[in-house]
């Protein structure tokens, strides 16, 4: 027998009528009022409050139920509203985490697992219904402008991003921006908060199609019309449309645009970056993969670069962008929550491949959870952890939770390959980036131009900006014609500008990549926080000084553990102190000033430039090498 768990709306009645028509034996477990189903007097029925799990299971057992259908919307109860019996208390102890911290999809999936333990299978109501899903097509005569169609494309991506977070399934978009997102109160409440725009409603990327399918009806169209909407876009084949003919007729009557879009079954890539350099690498990798195979979708964690490349984002890198042992301790609980949330999403979403970029502290913990839960798809890590610098013992165990490692530095392949980990050198993206090209034109001799690169993490900005402020004042006293450029990234630009507002000598702040390239080409010298940006300077032939300052505890511990004489990648690759490193106590405005002055008026700058060319040659590989490795991994898995 089939048990139908009846919530609100018209959907339960559709399932009931269809099951009766097809001759299925059914019984009804009703959540809330029973009078909605009084005309089904011949069917076994039980009305229960939330929490009476034991009573519900007895009812199903009495009627020999082996399959159940969740039909209709049920408002998530507050803990104070639960009417718990003994079994209900036991279930609550198992469900409290998804009930409090997760979305509906995660909660209902957990409930399904508990029913499975009682030998009751949860199935989709659409298994028993005919003709409730719309096929791809436009169901109105309204023509949209090109701008509005672009709005829909953005809306679909944002709706999927929202669904990925298990918050809702719909967004309202107007004039190129999302004006509202669905929350726990549902679609009707979303519509009621708005007075314009287009509603875009899709299934969740990790949707369990037995549960919580997107649903619309005549009431939805009435509500859209009442609030002045231009139209509605739903996902074809995955949205329940109650009384389709009436819905289509109402949309035409109200002159609403109505379209069902088929989101093709694409190969799924979950990709995650934890900081700005990873966001840059991730965006380039995504575009390279699309050049080789456009039938893919990217979901995961990233910043603005990956967003522009088409990422459906779970959350932003700003939640992960920390560095240093002391700083990590301060955010340990929020980090653990992000790790679990990411792993849970991947396990529900079941991508064809997982790609983690750098950020080994975060990514490796996610990988371990996936492997513990028997995740079958390949895990690729892009950018090796610097075990050659410290913690060499880590290299021995990486093969246990990583299936392939893509490295940026040529000497890393030999290090990891000897520890049973398939490793491939894919070249450093900066060495192959055609945007980073130095121009041969003579610099403007009227100015001494200095580029400031304080870092990409908030903790770095807070440490370096006061020192750089003092440095700019020293330079201005010495050189009346000095000017400063400060290229940064969108995520931290507000923090940069907050500091710069109080500077006497204000640098030109920019966030666009090509403005950064222009700043490099204008620069006589640069001052840079240690990191990937030093390779950009080397590629652009800009002489520079490296700075870095962190908390005392972090520096003390790293100093004890680090096993190489340099921190700057350029120095590591050249094998000597080509670039001056001013770290911790030596990172002072006076020391930076002295080193910059020395670079401007000695032969050191030319020596750096000559060595920079050799380093870039070391880091080059064939185009799209990393993307080819990813596509090959997916293809091998599907063969």
Report how far residue 293's alpha carbon sits from residue 629's, in angstroms, rounded to the nearest whole number. 12
Percentage of the chain lying above the pLDDT 90 cut = 52
Residue 311 has pLDDT above 80, yes or no: yes
Average pLDDT over residues 380-403: 82
- The pLDDT tens digits of the residues spanning 435-461 come to 898 886 657 778 999 999 999 888 899
Residue 205 has pLDDT above 60, yes or no: yes
Nearest CA to 346 among 317, 388, 386, 374? 374
From 95-109, 247-261, 292-306, the region with the lowest mean pLDDT: 95-109
Residue 204: predicted pLDDT: 82
Contact indicator for 510, 487 with CB cutoff of 8 Å:
yes
Residue 325: predicted pLDDT: 45
- Helix (H) or strand (E) segment spanning residue 408: none
Average pLDDT over residues 463-476: 97
Residue 101: predicted pLDDT: 64
Residue 329: predicted pLDDT: 53
From 202-216, 325-339, 580-594, the region with the lowest mean pLDDT: 325-339
- The pLDDT tens digits of the residues spanning 261-304 come to 988 678 899 999 988 888 989 999 999 999 998 889 999 999 88
Contact indicator for 424, 407 with CB cutoff of 8 Å:
yes
Strands 267-273 and 296-302: parallel
Residue 560: predicted pLDDT: 57
- The pLDDT tens digits of the residues spanning 40-71 come to 888 999 998 888 899 999 999 999 999 999 88
Helix (H) and strand (E) counts in the chain: 24, 26
Residue 227 has pLDDT above 90, yes or no: yes
Eight-state DSSP code of residue 78: P
Strands 296-302 and 311-316: parallel
Nearest CA to 1 among 23, 31, 34? 23
Instruction: Kindly tell me the sign of the dihedral angle through the C-alpha atoms of 392, 393, 395, 401.
Output: negative
Mean pLDDT, the chain, integer: 87
Longest dimension (CA), the chain: 97
Residue 20: predicted pLDDT: 92
Residue 511 has pLDDT above 60, yes or no: yes
- The pLDDT tens digits of the residues spanning 111-161 come to 888 898 999 999 888 888 877 888 899 999 888 888 999 999 999 988 988
From 113-127, 549-563, 593-607, the region with the lowest mean pLDDT: 549-563
Nearest CA to 349 among 272, 239, 291, 294? 272
Residue 592 has pLDDT above 90, yes or no: yes
Report how far residue 395's alpha carbon sits from residue 212's, in angstroms, rounded to the nearest whole number. 44
Residue 555: predicted pLDDT: 62
Average pLDDT over residues 215-222: 91
Whole-model pTM: value is 0.68
Instruction: Kindly tell me the sign of the dihedral angle through the C-alpha atoms of 547, 538, 515, 567.
Output: negative
Which CA distances in Å does 391 have to 281, 356, 382, 386, 388? 24, 20, 19, 8, 8
Q: Which residues contact 19 (CB under 8 A, 6 or more apart)?
A: 2, 4, 26, 128
Residue 322 has pLDDT above 60, yes or no: no
């Amino acid at each position: 027998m089939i048990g139908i768990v009846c919530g609100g709306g018209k959907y339960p009645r559709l399932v009931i009528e269809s099951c009766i028509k097809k001759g299925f034996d059914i019984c009804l477990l009703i959540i809330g009022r029973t009078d909605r189903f009084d005309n089904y007097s011949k069917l076994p029925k039980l009305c229960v409050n939330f929490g009476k799990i034991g009573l519900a299971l007895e009812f199903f057992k009495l009627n020999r139920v082996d399959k159940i259908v969740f039909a209709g919307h049920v408002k998530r109860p507050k803990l104070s509203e639960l009417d718990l019996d003994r079994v209900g208390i036991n279930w609550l102890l198992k469900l409290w985490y998804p009930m409090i911290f997760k979305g509906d999809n995660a909660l209902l999936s957990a409930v399904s697992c508990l029913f499975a333990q009682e030998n009751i299978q949860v199935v989709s109501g659409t298994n028993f219904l005919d003709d409730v899903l719309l096929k791809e097509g436009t169901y109105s005569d309204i023509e949209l402008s090109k701008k509005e169609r672009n709005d829909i494309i953005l809306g679909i991506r944002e709706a999927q991003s929202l669904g990925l977070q298990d918050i809702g399934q719909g967004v309202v978009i107007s004039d190129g921006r999302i004006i509202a997102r669905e929350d726990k109160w549902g679609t009707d409440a979303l519509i009621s908060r708005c007075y314009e725009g287009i509603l875009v409603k899709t299934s969740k990327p990790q949707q369990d199609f037995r549960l919580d399918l997107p649903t619309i009806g005549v009431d939805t169209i009435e509500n859209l019309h009442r609030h002045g909407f231009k139209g509605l876009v739903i996902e074809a084949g995955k949205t329940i449309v109650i009384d389709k003919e009436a819905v289509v007729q109402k949309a035409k009557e109200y002159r609403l645009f109505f379209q069902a879009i088929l989101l093709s079954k694409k190969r799924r890539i979950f990709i995650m970056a934890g900081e700005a350099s990873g966001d840059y690498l991730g965006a380039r990798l995504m575009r390279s993969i699309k050049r080789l195979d456009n039938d893919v979708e990217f979901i995961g964690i990233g910043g603005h670069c990956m967003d522009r490349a088409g990422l459906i984002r779970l959350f932003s890198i700003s939640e992960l962008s920390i560095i240093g042992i002391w700083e990590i301790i301060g955010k340990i609980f929020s980090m653990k929550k992000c790790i679990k949330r990411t792993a849970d999403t991947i396990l529900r979403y079941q991508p064809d491949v997982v790609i983690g970029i750098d950020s080994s502290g975060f990514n490796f913990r996610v990988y371990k959870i996936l492997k513990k839960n028997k995740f079958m798809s390949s895990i690729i890590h892009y950018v090796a952890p610097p075990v050659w610098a410290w913690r060499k013992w880590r290299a021995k165990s990486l093969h246990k939770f990583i299936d392939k490692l893509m490295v940026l530095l040529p000497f890393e392949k030999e290090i990891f390959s000897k520890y049973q980990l398939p490793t491939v050198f894919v070249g450093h993206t900066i060495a192959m980036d055609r945007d980073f090209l130095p121009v041969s034109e003579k610099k403007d001799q009227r100015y001494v131009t200095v580029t400031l690169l304080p870092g990409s993490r908030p903790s770095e900005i807070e440490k370096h900006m006061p020192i750089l402020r003092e440095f700019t004042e020293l330079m201005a006293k010495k050189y009346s014609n000095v000017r400063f450029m400060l290229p940064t990234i969108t995520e931290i630009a507000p923090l940069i500008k907050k500091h710069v507002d109080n500077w006497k000598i204000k640098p030109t702040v920019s966030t666009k990549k090509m403005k950064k390239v222009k700043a490099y080409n204008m620069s006589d010298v640069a001052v840079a926080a240690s990191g990937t940006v030093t390779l950009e300077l080397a590629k652009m032939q800009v002489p520079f000084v490296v700075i870095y300052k962190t908390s005392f505890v972090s520096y003390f511990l790293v100093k004890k553990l680090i096993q190489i004489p340099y921190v700057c990648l350029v120095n590591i690759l050249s094998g000597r102190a080509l670039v001056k490193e001013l770290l911790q106590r030596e990172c002072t405005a006076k020391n930076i000033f002295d080193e910059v002055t020395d670079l401007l008026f000695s032969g050191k700058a030319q020596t750096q430039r000559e060595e920079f060319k050799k380093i870039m040659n070391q880091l080059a590989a064939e185009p799209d090498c990393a993307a080819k490795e990813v596509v090959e991994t997916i293809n091998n898995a599907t063969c």
